[in-house]
Amino acid sequence: MLPLKDLTPSNILPVVTWLLIAANAVCFLFELSAPDAGSFIYTYALVPRQVDFAHPQTLWPFLTSMFLHAGWIHLISNMWFLRLFGDNTEAFFGRVGYLAVYLVSGFAGGLTQYAFGPGSGVPMLGASGAIAGVLGAYIVLYPRNEVQTLLFTFITVQVIRLPAMVALGYWFAIQLLAGVGTIGSEGGTAYFAHVGGFATGAAVAFVMRRISPPAAWP
């Protein structure tokens, strides 16, 4: 199941969303042009066993890893989800609030993945945790918004409309189940970063929605 389009326009110019997409693209190009790709990854990606909370300088990868990607498909798929669901979320939180949700969710996602494998030497990189936070916020704020979705079955491929609660809820369930299946192993997709980021974005949106209605936000 692949989301194709959010059918509810945000009626804003999603400046921060586009700037985040540009920042991720530029950082990926720096990554590709690094003279020593391995050294670059181990310096800026999040390697759990290199984290020492007694030494703050080892915590920078919680931030820098959000802007690195494992390849073109990884980058494009992440930016696709960010573009689809970022504009409405940005419209609710405003530019500064939206950026804060993005970064906090990314940090929370990295911390969640770290908690499930603090001794791992496998680098973790990608904006997935931060973008999962955007998805988590979206599902709380706009659960009934329709999402045009490409549905794959064993015999057909069709385009259908699904409420965000179903489309993104399905995505989250897959991440959670896959994450549980990776407990005790190293490498592969950082599913718990997705889970942690999604839960953080959803929690922030839930609190802010109760504090103030969307119309009160810039």
Domain enclosing residue 98, as ranges: 2-216
The secondary structure of residue 153, as a DSSP letter, is -
pLDDT of residue 217: 44
- Computed over every residue of the chain, the mean pLDDT equals 91
Cα distance between residue 180 and residue 52, in whole Å: 25
Cα distance between residue 9 and residue 109, in whole Å: 28
68-93: average pLDDT: 95
CB 164 within 8 A of CB 1: no
Any catalytic annotation for residue 33?
A: no
CB 104 within 8 A of CB 54: no
Q: How would you list the strands of the sheet with 146-152, edge to edge?
A: 2-6, 146-152, 157-163
Q: Is the pLDDT of residue 218 over 60?
A: no
The encoded tokens of residue 190 equal 């950082």
Q: What is the pLDDT of residues 113-140, one digit of tens each?
A: 999 889 888 999 999 999 999 999 999 9
* Catalytic position from the list 74, 77, 128, 212: 128
Q: Return the CATH number at 148.
A: 1.20.1540.10
Task: Give the confidence band of 187 by pLDDT, cuts at 50, 70, 90.
Answer: low
Q: Is the pLDDT of residue 101 over 80?
A: yes
Between 211 and 121, the higher pLDDT residue: 121
If one counts the domains in the chain, the total is: 1
Cα distance between residue 214 and residue 9, in whole Å: 15
Any catalytic annotation for residue 194?
A: yes
Q: Is the pLDDT of residue 26 over 70?
A: yes
Q: Is the pLDDT of residue 216 over 70?
A: no
Q: Is the pLDDT of residue 28 over 90?
A: yes
* Catalytic position from the list 33, 55, 194, 212: 194
Task: Give the confidence band of 144 by pLDDT, cuts at 50, 70, 90.
Answer: very high
